[in-house]
Structure 1
Amino acid sequence: MKIKHVLLTLMLTLSGSVLAEGVDEKINEVVGPYLNGFTGLIFSQIPFFGGVTVPWVVIWLVIAATFFTIYFKFINLRSFRHGYHLLSGKYDYSKAQGEVTHFQALTTALSGTVGLGNIAGVAAAVGIGGAGATFWMIVCGFLGMSTKFVECTLGVKYRDVLPNGHVHGGPMRYLSKGFAEKGFGGVGKVLAVVFAICCIGGSLGGGNMFQVNQALEQVVAVTGGEGSFLDNNGWLFGLIVAVLVGITIIGGIKSIGKVTSKLVPFMGIIYVFSGLVVIAMNYDKIGPAFGAIIDGAFSTQSAFGGLVGVLIVGFQRAAFSNEAGIGSASIAHSAVKTDHPVTEGLVALYEPFIDTVVVCTITALVIGIAGFIPDAPTAGQGIALTSAAFGSAISWFPYVLTIAAVLFAFSTMLAWSYYGLRAFNYLFGHGKAQDMTYNILFLVFIVIGSSMSLTAVIGFSDAMIFAMSVPNLIGLYFLAPVVKRELAQYMAKIKSGEIKPSR
């Protein structure tokens, strides 16, 4: 990163802290009602069963995941092994177009999904739905694998590779190009623009301000609490984070991929290892914990509570746990080095599996084994519940949780900066000026997010992320036959030996 870029980043992020001073309440007062109106529309409730109401967008996502699982004959299970072979580099070819490896593409996408939702969102889900929520969380994770397969295959299929080697892909591309192939170019263009606008809004809010705000909250909690230096000078924390993010994102997807390929496994190991330690220390409670999960999942009250807890609270935080159906991950996956689009779809299967089936399940098990599942539904339980559960066995875990929270927030911001940039490029074109404009805007919003509460804005940005699923899933339904054809052709080449392992 050039010195002038560092100075520009410092100058503009400092200006972000100045901008934040004194305008928090004014922004919420002036635009809050409009933002809340949009948020209410996206999260409006519809009747489900037994008097339970669920946001329509949640039903929209779950129905799609179920449909794609059936349509592709349980691709999430039958191609799990081949996906691992691709992920491990067994079929990598150096001459393939793209910017990152399968592993780097996966870790970049995972960095946008493995985040605070795994810590706070799961605790909230278990708090409301009880132990049975864990079972439904696993089910939703498996279903989401199929949706992720479809959108990431399309991301590579319709990507644009520029003369300089940079890749531009994701829903903006497959909506506009895929629909145009079938004679509906105008419809596809409209859907692509809607997606891009929502993606930019979501990247600046849920993928940026919320992340730094929650990371700061945890740091403050272990460094003096309310009234401490950082509590009164949050902008300084934001400035430090902005500089670190800026140094990384200026290098583009290659730089982000290199960082996340090391950071994501590291932070994942820290968190999973800590969870396994707690589970091992309470090994005599493992059997009863699993028994409570199964019993709770299939009793009428707990089943509905589990569905509500997972689908509304657990998945809603941090743009769902795995973002299946949102379309954001396909932007990162589209940059992979491959000549066969379906290969990245098969690698992407692992994203919901790692994020939801593994990491979220460990969180839920620790909470259950430690005896912190409330007897009655309890709203508002989040990171404090997870911290207390881990802390019951490991007294110093709040410090580990703080490190995890900061790393999760940092990696999420890296991924969403790239998502937002590609959406920005789609609307305003490619070039250094456009890239620098968006990157600076993103960095300024980091400082703003650490300096302001902006309750209405953050709620609005969450709604923007969920709104991305509307045009995206329309495109997935419309282009599913294309993916089915790609899959059949690829598997035929594997079977005939035309495609062979590279090592």
Structure 2
Amino acid sequence: MLDWMDSILGGAVYFPFLLLGVGLFFTIYLKFPQIRFFAHGWRVITGKFDRSRDPGDTTHFQALTTALSGTIGTGNIGGVALALFLGGPAALFWMWMTAFFGMTTKFVEVTLSHKYRVKTEDGTMAGGPMYYMSRGLNMKWLAVIFALATVLSSFGTGNMPQSNNIAQAMEATFGVPTIWVGGVLSVLLALVILGGIRRIAAVTSRIVPLMSVLYVLGAFAVIFYNIENIIPSFIAIFAGAFTGTAAIGGFVGASFAYAFNMGVARGLYSNEAGQGSAAIAHASARTKEPAEEGMVSILEPFIDTILICTLTGLVILASGVWHEKHQNHFDRSDMRIISGVYDDQIDTDRAQLSRYLNNQDHNIEVFEGQIDVVAGEPEPGNYTILNARSVAENVSILIGGDTPYNGTLDVANGRFTRDNVQVFGESLIHSAALTTVAFTRGFFGDFGQYIVAVALLMFAFSTAIAWSYYGDRAMIYLAGPRSVMPYRVIYVAGFFIAAIADTTLIWKIAAVAIVLMTLPNLLGIMLMRREMKETVNKYWAENQHKLPDSKD
């Protein structure tokens, strides 16, 4: 069901063009605000224009760090790795394009959301696309759809992927069982989010700068260690941008369409430009000038994607781990058994596998039948086990955690029907696991994996904190302030459950949830394009003295 939903939403041909098209339209319509107002955004967050008497709950800097904590998360560590795993180096180019045009999209959605924010019964500010939709467009039905999608996405985007990736990293790096990781962090999450936006802002304004510095230092340790591979990495990024990525190592290649779709989709997940989520955090900023807060938001995609995601991408590409096979545990949703014997080092086999994995015309069929297993090793037959889009090697099958399986396993629709067996072997890896391995290929050696684990912990935990705020603002809009506490309890419970769930399944939920928010938001900002231009022009006319860098 999730695969089908993704195929008509984020995975559909139209979606990347729609997302980039809206950003391109506003970039031209507003005369490249991501360039004109970039320097001013930096001046605003220094506090130069802060006024304590203005309405709001947080400073410009706190609003930015809260929004950044919602975007800088698994998307920067696991999401970039997933994009490169799926689309090859070319996917990073399309992540950049999503960020560049996304800077304008973010500027628009934040400005409009701040303009139509309201003060709630408890005295705090509430804003977001649902408010400009209902108060600016008089389209309450669209606002309700967006608010419902925000609640769903708070779990699918901000909660579950973060918890799952933290748990997986902690188990892989420190050997801590996922259930313990989920339990401890759920308690800490509850302690933070029950304090509301002021406590959330106080925590994230400290975590975001610290975690960013730590991660950047670790990334440079790998990049400079593999400095001779940096220029070839950039060449690979640009060379495949419009043609796709050729096969190399265990990577069987990716078409242009696949790299384009994956790059745009992961770019959206990383910086959330167009999703409308960060606009909820920026609505709390203490200012009377909506456009001023919009200029602050321009910095988000730049910091999130053009800086941090690029560092992650260069670490993975320069280290070469993205096309190498590694020993790992096969998730059920990552594994598929196909009919026929294929070798990814044979050109003709690799070409067929590439067409199959890139959803192009192919003649490969999934395997149906039985596989004999002796002492944990599957006997040879007319089948090939694929895992993580690669031909699996040295496969072993266990039961009960550590006992080699003996007997026959039934296979239906390319999957084992028995769900209590564990499959291990060598294959490509993706998400946070790929980034973790890449960080060990630098000056820090194996210690690099601890940098990823700690950074992921802080990145992802702060994202879960920020998204709880997005969700409770949506609940206030839908059902009033009394609905916030039940929502927070369920949010914490979801965070715990996701820690022990299937990683690939979690990513599929995220892919669907994020687009359900994005589509109504893109429609809304397009309908308010004239008002947006008027708002910017008015700010320009009244505050030109603040913009010495902009002369026209």
What residue number does 1:126 align with? Answer: 84
The 1:296/1:339 distance shift into structure 2, 3 A limit, reads same
Give the drift of 1:455: 6.8
Given the alignment of the two structures, is residue 160 of structure 1 paired with residue 118 of structure 2, yes or no? yes
What residue number does 2:361 align with? Answer: none
- Aligned partner (choices 345, 365, 369) of residue 294 of structure 2: 345
Given the alignment of the two structures, is residue 176 of structure 1 paired with residue 176 of structure 2, yes or no? no
The 1:498/1:446 distance shift into structure 2, 3 A limit, reads closer
The 1:414/1:391 distance shift into structure 2, 3 A limit, reads same
State the SS of the aligned residue for 1:141. helix
Moved more, 260-269 or 87-96: 87-96
1:48-88 deviation per Cα after TM superposition (whole angstroms, max 9, x unaligned): xxxxxxxx333321211111111111111111111111121
Q: Which runs of 5+ in 1 are unaligned?
A: 1-32, 47-55, 181-187
Given the alignment of the two structures, is residue 136 of structure 1 paired with residue 94 of structure 2, yes or no? yes
Given the alignment of the two structures, is residue 483 of structure 1 paired with residue 547 of structure 2, yes or no? no
Correspondence 1:392-411 to 2 at 5 A: 392-393=441-442, 394-395=444-445, 396-411=447-462
- Aligned partner (choices 465, 468, 473) of residue 417 of structure 1: 468
- Aligned partner (choices 152, 156, 161) of residue 205 of structure 1: 156
Given the alignment of the two structures, is residue 255 of structure 1 paired with residue 199 of structure 2, yes or no? yes
Q: C-alpha separation between the residues in 1 aligned to 2:230 and 2:499? A: 39
Q: Which amino acid aligns with 1:483?
A: M
The 1:460/1:363 distance shift into structure 2, 3 A limit, reads closer
Q: C-alpha separation between the residues in 1 aligned to 2:125 and 2:255? A: 40
Q: C-alpha separation between the residues in 1 aligned to 2:469 and 2:460? A: 15
Q: Are 1:131 and 1:373, in contact at CA under 8 Å, matched by a contact in 2? A: no
Q: Which amino acid aligns with 2:239?
A: D
What residue number does 2:489 align with? Answer: 440
Q: Which amino acid aligns with 1:210?
A: P
Higher helix proportion? 1
Given the alignment of the two structures, is residue 330 of structure 1 paired with residue 330 of structure 2, yes or no? no
Given the alignment of the two structures, is residue 365 of structure 1 paired with residue 314 of structure 2, yes or no? yes
The 1:154/1:223 distance shift into structure 2, 3 A limit, reads same
Moved more, 133-142 or 375-384: 375-384
Give the drift of 1:457: 7.2
Q: Are 2:164 and 2:503, in contact at CA under 8 Å, matched by a contact in 1? A: no
State the SS of the aligned residue for 2:137. helix
- Aligned partner (choices 40, 45, 54) of residue 82 of structure 1: 40
Give the drift of 1:357: 0.3
Higher RCO (Cα < 8 Å, 6 or more apart): 1
What residue number does 2:371 align with? Answer: none
Give the drift of 1:479: 0.8
What residue number does 1:221 align with? Answer: 172
Q: C-alpha separation between the residues in 1 aligned to 2:464 and 2:258? A: 26
What residue number does 1:426 align with? Answer: 477
Identity of aligned residues (%): 40
What residue number does 1:465 align with? Answer: 514
What residue number does 2:360 align with? Answer: none
Q: C-alpha separation between the residues in 2 aligned to 1:247 and 1:318? A: 31
Give the drift of 1:459: 3.1
Q: Are 1:134 and 1:306, in contact at CA under 8 Å, matched by a contact in 2? A: no
Q: Which amino acid aligns with 1:419?
A: Y
Q: C-alpha separation between the residues in 2 aligned to 1:44 and 1:373? A: 22
Q: Are 2:40 and 2:547, in contact at CA under 8 Å, matched by a contact in 1? A: no
1:247-299 deviation per Cα after TM superposition (whole angstroms, max 9, x unaligned): 1111111111111111011111111111112222333443443344343436x
Q: C-alpha separation between the residues in 1 aligned to 2:255 and 2:208? A: 28
Q: C-alpha separation between the residues in 2 aligned to 1:497 and 1:40? A: 46
Q: When the two structures are superposed, what TM-score results if normalisation uses the length of structure 1?
A: 0.81
Q: Which has the larger radius of gyration?
A: 2
Q: Which amino acid aligns with 2:281?
A: A
The 1:311/1:421 distance shift into structure 2, 3 A limit, reads farther
Q: Are 1:272 and 1:362, in contact at CA under 8 Å, matched by a contact in 2? A: yes
State the SS of the aligned residue for 1:384. helix
Q: Are 2:165 and 2:432, in contact at CA under 8 Å, matched by a contact in 1? A: no
Q: Are 2:95 and 2:267, in contact at CA under 8 Å, matched by a contact in 1? A: no
Q: Which amino acid aligns with 1:198?
A: A
1:284-331 deviation per Cα after TM superposition (whole angstroms, max 9, x unaligned): 443443344343436x34499586566533453596111111111100
Moved more, 284-293 or 155-164: 284-293
State the SS of the aligned residue for 2:513. helix
Q: Are 1:121 and 1:313, in contact at CA under 8 Å, matched by a contact in 2? A: no
Q: C-alpha separation between the residues in 1 aligned to 2:73 and 2:257? A: 21
State the SS of the aligned residue for 1:207. coil
The 1:497/1:67 distance shift into structure 2, 3 A limit, reads closer
1:70-120 deviation per Cα after TM superposition (whole angstroms, max 9, x unaligned): 111111111111111112112111111100111111111111111112112
Q: Which runs of 5+ in 2 are unaligned?
A: 247-252, 325-349, 355-387, 390-428
1:116-151 deviation per Cα after TM superposition (whole angstroms, max 9, x unaligned): 121122123233443333333222211110000000
Q: C-alpha separation between the residues in 2 aligned to 1:401 and 1:161? A: 40
Q: C-alpha separation between the residues in 2 aligned to 1:311 and 1:321? A: 15
Give the drift of 1:399: 1.3
Q: C-alpha separation between the residues in 1 aligned to 2:501 and 2:237? A: 39
Correspondence 1:3-152 to 2 at 5 A: 33=1, 38-43=5-10, 45-46=12-13, 56-152=14-110
Give the drift of 1:458: 6.3
State the SS of the aligned residue for 2:303. helix
1:445-475 deviation per Cα after TM superposition (whole angstroms, max 9, x unaligned): 1122224449767634541221111211111
Give the drift of 1:440: 1.1
Q: C-alpha separation between the residues in 2 aligned to 1:470 and 1:348? A: 20
Q: C-alpha separation between the residues in 2 aligned to 1:217 and 1:135? A: 28
Q: Which amino acid aligns with 2:183?
A: L
Q: When the two structures are superposed, what TM-score results if normalisation uses the length of structure 2?
A: 0.74
Q: C-alpha separation between the residues in 2 aligned to 1:261 and 1:66? A: 31
Moved more, 288-297 or 338-347: 288-297
Q: Are 2:77 and 2:435, in contact at CA under 8 Å, matched by a contact in 1? A: yes
The 1:44/1:68 distance shift into structure 2, 3 A limit, reads same
What residue number does 1:29 align with? Answer: none
- Aligned partner (choices 283, 288, 299) of residue 227 of structure 2: 283
What residue number does 1:195 align with? Answer: 146
1:197-219 deviation per Cα after TM superposition (whole angstroms, max 9, x unaligned): 11111112332122111210111
Q: C-alpha separation between the residues in 2 aligned to 1:444 and 1:398? A: 28
Q: C-alpha separation between the residues in 2 aligned to 1:310 and 1:151? A: 27
Q: C-alpha separation between the residues in 2 aligned to 1:497 and 1:388? A: 46
Q: C-alpha separation between the residues in 1 aligned to 2:472 and 2:121? A: 19
